[in-house]
Amino acid sequence: QVQLVQSGAEVKKPGASVKVSCKASGYTFNKYGISWVRQAPGQGLEWVGWIGTSNGDTKYAEKFQGRVTMTTDTSRSTAYMDLTSLRSDDTAMYFCARRSLDHWGQGTLVTVSS
Amino acid sequence: SFELTQPPSVSASPGQTARITCSGDALSNQYAYWYQQKPGQAPVLVIYKDSERPPGIPERYSGSTSGTTVTLTISGVQAEDEADYYCQSADSSGTYVFGTGTTVTVL
């Protein structure tokens, strides 16, 4: 069955960077892109961007341009999201999902606090 | 980017019908998708391409579209349907947007 397993919770200081991983199994990794979505505490879903796993194409939401980088390691069937210059309002649960958003990871809580 | 607007809350008694709307100009020519999210859990896709149901999603979930508004209908609401629901669409450049979210309460 399709599974997306994300890395564990992170606590970071303002200005730092965080890298979240998402390991896929149960399907051919390079046939589906990976999307990233975040959810601040008590708030709605916010799309961060996606990456094509076959060609590395990326599309980022405008508000994250310049701060987010999405990459993949096809040998490990793993996608990564790197977010830099963290601020307190980046505190959120970060989810990976297949690009079509039909299967989701369990989420990774990123807390930004001094 | 575009916006998708949903009512903050919808309520229904068990066995009744709950309808959640999602409005946005992009919906006139782009597909809509619906997700259910229960507290502390990842979202689950319940409707894709306006009205298609993924495997394992109960038949009581259905989707429809009219102009710039799409609707998720839960027929015969059950207690387990209590959750937050989000619509989502994408523009022609591949930018995704989520709706503002609707909390469904089963009375």
Residue A82: its pLDDT value, please?
A: 98
Q: Which residues of chain B have pLDDT under 50?
A: none
Element (H, E) at A39: strand A34-39
At residue A105 the predicted structure's pLDDT band, cuts being 50, 70 and 90, is very high
User: Distance (Å) from the C-alpha of residue A100 to the closest C-alpha of chain B?
Assistant: 9
A60 has a pLDDT exceeding 80: yes
User: Distance (Å) from the C-alpha of residue A30 to the closest C-alpha of chain B?
Assistant: 18
Residue A27: its pLDDT value, please?
A: 96
What order do you get walking across the sheet with A18-25 strand by strand?
A: A3-6, A18-25, A78-83, A68-73
Residue B2: its pLDDT value, please?
A: 85
Residue B92: its pLDDT value, please?
A: 87
Q: Which residue in chain A is spatially nearest to B1 when comparing CA positions?
A: A62
Residue A79: its pLDDT value, please?
A: 98
At residue A99 the predicted structure's pLDDT band, cuts being 50, 70 and 90, is very high
Sign of CA dihedral A68, A60, B35, B6: positive
Q: Considering only CB atoms, which chain A residues are within 8 Å of B94?
A: 50, 59
